[in-house]
Amino acid sequence: MTEDTLNPKTPWQDLTIGGNIYTAGNAKEFKTGDWRSVKPIFKSELCKQCGLCFPVCPDDAIPVNKDLKREDFDYDACKGCGVCAKVCPFKAIVME
Ligand code: SF4
Ligand code: SF4
């Protein structure tokens, strides 16, 4: 595997120098999930749909459906910061 094939969606040539972000609200333009070293796991059986987690995600990586219920993580965008796991009062998100 070469550096060109590590992530065919975002080849290294398309990254900014130092991984800098120059404009706000552009997370969708990058596969920021590649930055992650730990990932949140959604335990749907424990989720009460309280709605505390998705507003705090800095990468809009917790999809909400038309019934205003959260769905599983968008791992292309999730950076693994762990904020969602911190705010969940029902331990429905664990970091692995
Ligand atoms: S770990 Fe961070 S980036 Fe990932 S879904 Fe949770 S709050 Fe969003
Ligand atoms: S904070 Fe926890 S219980 Fe509330 S919606 Fe998110 S995962 Fe579900």
- Given this model, what pLDDT does residue 12 score? 74
- Given this model, what pLDDT does residue 69 score? 96
- Given this model, what pLDDT does residue 7 score? 58
Q: How far is CA 84 from CA 26, 51, 60, in A?
A: 20, 10, 11
49 neighbors 69 (Cβ within 8 angstroms):
yes
pTM beyond cutoff 0.75? yes
In this structure, the dihedral spanned by the alpha carbons of residues 66, 72, 78 and 82, taken in order and rounded to 10 degrees, is 110
Ligand 1 centroid, distance to 77 Cα (angstroms): 8
Residue 40 CA: nearest ligand 1 atom is 1
- Given this model, what pLDDT does residue 1 score? 46
Residue nearest to atom 4 of ligand 1 (CA): 78
Ligand 1 centroid, distance to 63 Cα (angstroms): 11
Residues of the chain with pLDDT under 70: 1-10, 27-28
